[in-house]
Amino acid sequence: MRIYDRTFSSRMMLGTALYPSPAIMQAAIRAAEPALVTVSLRREQNLSAPRGPGFWDELRALGVAFLPNTAGCHTVKEAVTTARMGRELLGTDLVKLEVIGHADTLQPDVFGLVEAARVLSGEGFRVLPYTTEDLVVAERLVEAGCEVLMPWASPIGSGLGLNNRYGLRSLRAQFPDVTLIVDAGLGRPSHAAEALELGYDGVLLNTAVATSGDPVAMARAFRLAVEAGRLSFEAGAMEPRDMAAPSTPIFGKAVL
């Protein structure tokens, strides 16, 4: 999976919220073997509070790269300020950019998203915007400097899976050279495999792993599903058809 000028062997990103304990979070990350782990930031946060230095030490001990996240930001100013804080605290130009526009569905404010992406790209950030599958919005984000797009599958934390396969398929076809990562709404490993089978470069998830009955086992399940989905895409999975097609040849069968 290519993220700007870096290439990762894993096609999965994993969030760090909602786990029952730090130890389970660590074990789940080890099981997932993700390319990046996302960490949300708040304006008052530093590396010793409020989560405490142990949280950051535990993450660093895993040897996984950080992806700061502007989760929960509702304005351009708030998102840009949070992104700058993330770069200062974590020493990375990567940022997952969220500008939320709807409180119930957590649908992104695509107008503010494009504006914030343009500002941050101009400041040297490498922006991964959480967006919809809208082709026009995608075009504006690419024009703003984004080399990676992160369209949602369905609302954050819903577990509904890929609500608009047509839209996601169209986005993949329209932007063949842009890294596309499905973000939000993946509830089962089969949802992740489905995204990879559509030709997407990767997935980002959190809730489906962290709130499952066994986060470690679920993290491994998602890892295997991502690998299977990509292998299926590369192998050329058969297209569905309306009629049955016999797998056994008619020629040479016994005739009474």
* Domain boundaries defined on the chain: 2-235
SS3 of 95, please? Answer: strand
| 216 has a pLDDT exceeding 90 | yes
How is domain 2-235 classified at the architecture level of CATH?
Alpha-Beta Barrel (3.20)
| Residue 253 annotated in active site | no
Query: What pLDDT was estimated at residue 58?
Result: 79
Ranking 14-28, 167-181, 201-215, 235-249 by mean pLDDT, the lowest is 235-249
pLDDT for residue 43 is more than 80: no
Candidate from 41-50, 137-146, 148-157, 191-200 with smallest mean pLDDT: 41-50
Q: Model confidence over 10-26: pLDDT tens digits?
A: 999 999 999 999 999 99
**pLDDT surpassing 90 at residue 240:** no
Under the banding of pLDDT at 50, 70 and 90, the label for residue 63 is confident
**pTM tops 0.85:** yes
Q: What are phi and psi of 145, to 5 degrees?
A: 115, 0
What stretches of the chain show up as alpha helix (H) in DSSP? 22-32, 53-61, 76-90, 110-122, 135-143, 165-174, 189-197, 207-210, 215-235
pLDDT category of residue 61 using cuts at 50, 70 and 90 = confident
Predicted local confidence at residue 255, as pLDDT: 65
Binned at pLDDT 50, 70 and 90, residue 254 comes out as low
- Among 99-108, 114-123, 180-189, the minimum mean pLDDT is found in 99-108
Q: Does the pLDDT value for residue 101 go beyond 70? A: yes
> Which residues does the annotation place in the binding site for 1-deoxy-D-xylulose 5-phosphate?
157, 184-185, 206-207
pLDDT for 243: 87
**Confidence bin at 62 (pLDDT 50/70/90):** confident
CA angle in degrees (0–180, nearest 5) for 230-236-238: 115
Residue 59, pLDDT score: 80
Angle at 174 (CA atoms; ends 168, 176), nearest 5 degrees: 95
| Lowest-confidence pick of 14-23, 55-64, 66-75, 188-197 | 55-64
The b-or-e profile of 102-141 (16+ CB within 10 A means b, else e) is eeeebbbbbebbbbbbbbbbeeebbbbbbbbbbeebbebb
pLDDT of residue 195: 98
- pLDDT value at position 237? 86
pLDDT of 52 reads: 53
- Determine the pLDDT at residue 48: 47
Query: 97 pLDDT band (50/70/90 cuts)?
Result: very high
Name the active-site residue from 87, 96, 126, 140: 96
pLDDT at 68: 94
Q: What is the mean pLDDT of the chain?
A: 91
